[in-house]
Amino acid sequence: MTSAEVSAPWWASEGFWRKCAIFVTAFMALVLIILTFHTLVVIEAGGESGRVPAYSVINHRIGFEFDSDRNHAVPTIGPLVPLFGEVLSEEDAKALVNHGKLTVQARNCMNCHTILGNGAYYAPDLTKAWLDPGWGNEQARELLMTMFLTDPVANKRTFGTNRTMPNPKLTEDEVRGVIAYLKWMSAIDTNGFPNGFTPLPQDGPILEPEEVVQ
């Protein structure tokens, strides 16, 4: 027996801190699990909270506008402006977005780019790539994005850095999937991130619901 053992007051004793460690860990884990159950419901795609949109949101014009109640910009879902001129069912939209996400993972885009701010810092954040002013305007965007993703070397901008995106050699379907994924992503409610982002002008033709051929 060492002297420390005999004289340690309760607040410095091993037993007390062992109990503390167990209790604190269990309590925090419990709170995290409860919050997780709640969060998972809230972030369901197309869920009631509207934070993560349904995949068929790609049939609509997406905006990013200041909301004075929340004091930051939030995504807005506008009139029908279907991607590649084609209105998709929720199921087809999901399949297309899914193909895009698989492609982004399979081609390892996140080790150059950030997505929702997570990833690598070698290339621009893609959270709002769909709305980037670099695409000019709504009418030019789909064509320019398709051209860029099909051949980023020939269509490079690089702003004098020569930091070029290598050609990911996407198939035509993969390009469409990636663009759908980026469009859907731009409609996620990110609590105002990226702050101060101003989308490209979107005043092209819209589709009236009764014009949609099923």
Binding site for ligand HEM (CB under 6 A): 117-118, 120-122
Rounded to the nearest whole angstrom, what is the least distance from the CB of residue 65 to ligand HEC in the complex?
20
Using CB under 6 A, which of 15, 160, 166, 196 touches ligand HEC? 166
Using CB under 6 A, which of 80, 102, 112, 207 touches ligand HEC? 112
Tell me the helix, strand and coil percentages in the chain, rounded to 5.
50, 10, 40
Burial class (CB in 10 A: 0-12, 13-18, 19+), 213: exposed
What residue 156 binds from ligand HEC, ligand HEM, another protein, none (CB within 5 to 8 A, per partner kind)?
ligand HEC
Instruction: Report the residue number, 11 or 121, with the smaller CB distance to ligand HEC.
Output: 121
Task: Find out whether the peptide bond into 124 is cis, omega within 30 degrees of 0.
Answer: no
Instruction: Report the residue number, 118 or 167, with the smaller CB distance to ligand HEM.
Output: 118
70 lines the binding site for ligand HEC (CB under 6 A): no
Helix (H, G, I), strand (E, B) or coil at 119: strand
Residues 22-61: x where in contact with ligand HEC by CB under 6 A, - otherwise, as a string: ----------------------------------------
Helix runs in 43-171, H state only: 90-106, 138-150
Strand partners for 114 = 119
User: What span, in angstroms and rounded, lies between the C-alpha atoms of 70 and 74?
Assistant: 9
- Comparing CA positions, the residue from 126, 128, 103 lying closest to residue 113 is 126
Helix (H, G, I), strand (E, B) or coil at 84: helix
Instruction: Report the residue number, 134 or 204, with the smaller CB distance to ligand HEC.
Output: 134
66 lines the binding site for another protein (CB under 8 A): no
Helix (H, G, I), strand (E, B) or coil at 117: coil
Instruction: Report the residue number, 89 or 191, with the smaller CB distance to ligand HEM.
Output: 191
Rounded to the nearest whole angstrom, what is the least distance from the CB of residue 99 to ligand HEM in the complex?
25
Positions that interact with ligand HEC (CB under 6 A): 104, 107-109, 112-113, 122-124, 126, 129, 132, 134, 156-158, 163-166, 168, 178
